[in-house]
Amino acid sequence: MALSFYSLQASAIEISNRYRSPRNPERSVRKATTLIILHTTEAPERSSLNKLSERGEAHYCVTPSGRIFAIVDRDREAYHAGRSMWNAKEDVDKFSIGIECVGYHNEPMGIVQLKAIASLVDMLKKMYGLSDEAVICHSHVAYGAPNKWQKRRHRGRKRCGMLFATTSVRNILDLSSKPRVDPDTRAGRLVVGDPYLRNVLYGKMDIMASHYPSKKQPAKSTSAKAPSAKKSPVKKPKAANVAETKNTNVKSTYKISAHKSSPKTLNDLKAQGYKCRGTVAKGKTAMMIVGSKWKSSSTYYVIRGKVTSGSSINPLRIEEGTAIWTK
Ligand SMILES: [Zn+2]
C-alpha cells in the first residue's frame, strides 16, 4: 500500500497506511484538537497494530524500530482515551489526537522509537498550533468511576504512557514543559486514586532518569567547575504556582538530606532504632508495607546488605527480597 508523506519545513516524516483502520468511515470528524495524548500499548508490536486497526483505537502507532503507522484519519475521532477528563472537559477523544507507542508504561523505550515519536509529535504540534504542555499521557486524562475500593470518581484509572511525563523522556522528545498540576484533582472534580502515579506525573521523581543521559550533564570540558559527582534529574524550581498544594509534603521527602548520621549498614539501622517492617515479595509491594512512606528519606531499603534511602530508591528496581526499615 502507498505511503503518505507529510512535508514540513526541513523535515519529512514517513507514515505507512498498512494498518489503516476499517472503522474510519464510521467515525465522526473531530471538532477541536487541543491535546496530543501519548499511550503505551502494553503488548508486542504485531498484536498491538492488529488490535488498534481493527478497533480504530488510535490515530497513529509508533513501533520500536521507529515506523509510524496511521490508523484512524487524523481529523476523525479515534477511541483511545476511554473514560477521560481534562480541565473539566470529559471525553477527551472529542478534542485530542491519540498516539500509541509499542511498549510499556514503566519501561524505557529505545532512542530510535523516541525520536520517531518526537518527529510525529513535532509535526502535529505545528499542524494544530499546540504547545509542549498540550502533549500529555493517557494516565493524565483517564479517570475511574466509583467502585468497591474508591468511593469517588478518581484519577489513576490507568498508568498508560506515564513514562512520557518524565523529564528525561521529555528531553528526548524535545518537550520543554508539561502540566504542573492536575486541573481536575485540584478543583475537586476528581480525587487522587493513585498517589504513585501522581508523583510520576507531577512530582520531582524521574523514574526514567537512570536510563537516559541527563541533559544537564556538561559537555566535555566546557566548564571546569561543573560538578560530576551527582546527576540530578530535578529541574530547577519554578515560580510559586508550580506545585500542587497537596504535593508539598511529597516534595519535601525528595530533598535528600545527607546528614552525617544517615545509616549506611544494617547495623547502623539497628543502632539507630529502625525496625524491619516487611519484605517485598510477589504481590507485596513497598507501598503495601509502608504506605506512602515508601519514598521517604527516613525509610530504608536493604538488599544484599546494601542500604538505600527511600528518597533515592528507583521504584522500578525494588527487587523481591528487599527488606524495608523505618523508625
Ligand atoms: Zn492508553
pLDDT the model gives residue 312: 84
Q: How far does residue 41's CA lie from ligand 1's centre (Å)?
A: 7
Q: How far does residue 278's CA lie from ligand 1's centre (Å)?
A: 33
Q: How far does residue 185's CA lie from ligand 1's centre (Å)?
A: 20
Give all domains of the chain, ordered by start, each with its CATH number. 3-253 (3.40.80.10), 266-326 (no CATH)
Q: How far does residue 19's CA lie from ligand 1's centre (Å)?
A: 18
Give me the percent of the chain exceeding a pLDDT of 70. 82
Q: Are strands 96-101 and 35-40 parallel, antiparallel or unpaired?
A: parallel
pLDDT the model gives residue 215: 63
pLDDT the model gives residue 12: 61
Q: How far does residue 167's CA lie from ligand 1's centre (Å)?
A: 19
Q: Given pLDDT bands bounded at 50, 70 and 90, which one contains residue 281?
A: confident
Q: How far does residue 274's CA lie from ligand 1's centre (Å)?
A: 41
Q: How far does residue 158's CA lie from ligand 1's centre (Å)?
A: 8
Q: How far does residue 84's CA lie from ligand 1's centre (Å)?
A: 11
Q: How much is the average pLDDT of 183-211? A: 96
- pLDDT, tens digit (0-9, with 9 covering 90-100), for 133-159: 999 999 999 999 999 888 999 999 999
Q: How far does residue 71's CA lie from ligand 1's centre (Å)?
A: 15
Q: How far does residue 157's CA lie from ligand 1's centre (Å)?
A: 10
Q: Given pLDDT bands bounded at 50, 70 and 90, which one contains residue 216?
A: low
Q: Under a CB-based contact definition with an 8 Å cutoff, are residues 96 and 81 in contact?
A: yes
Q: How much is the average pLDDT of 289-317? A: 84
Give, for 171, the enclosing helix (H) or strand (E). helix 167-172
Most confident of 10-19, 219-228, 263-272: 263-272
Query: How is residue 247 written as a grid cell?
Result: 504535593
- pLDDT, tens digit (0-9, with 9 covering 90-100), for 164-177: 999 999 999 999 99
What average pLDDT is seen over the chain?
84
Query: Which of 88, 100, 85 has the alpha carbon at shortest distance from 42?
Result: 100
- As a whole number of angstroms, the distance between CA 61 and CA 48 comes to 9
Taking every pair of Cα atoms in the chain, the longest distance, rounded to a whole number of angstroms, is: 70
- As a whole number of angstroms, the distance between CA 45 and CA 102 comes to 6
Q: How much is the average pLDDT of 77-105? A: 98
Enumerate the β-bridge partners of residue 314. Answer: none
Q: How far does residue 323's CA lie from ligand 1's centre (Å)?
A: 33
Of 284 and 121, the one with more pLDDT? 121
- As a whole number of angstroms, the distance between CA 185 and CA 204 comes to 18
Of 147 and 249, the one with more pLDDT? 147
Q: How far does residue 83's CA lie from ligand 1's centre (Å)?
A: 11
Q: How far does residue 159's CA lie from ligand 1's centre (Å)?
A: 8
Of 288 and 15, the one with more pLDDT? 15
Q: How far does residue 319's CA lie from ligand 1's centre (Å)?
A: 27
pLDDT the model gives residue 318: 79
Q: Between the CA atoms of 268, 273, 278 and 280, what dihedral angle is there, to the nearest 10 degrees?
A: -30
Helix (H) and strand (E) counts for the chain?
9, 16
Q: How much is the average pLDDT of 228-233? A: 43
Q: How far does residue 80's CA lie from ligand 1's centre (Å)?
A: 6
Q: How far does residue 3's CA lie from ligand 1's centre (Å)?
A: 26
Q: How far does residue 139's CA lie from ligand 1's centre (Å)?
A: 7
Q: How far does residue 186's CA lie from ligand 1's centre (Å)?
A: 23
Give, for 192, the enclosing helix (H) or strand (E). strand 191-192
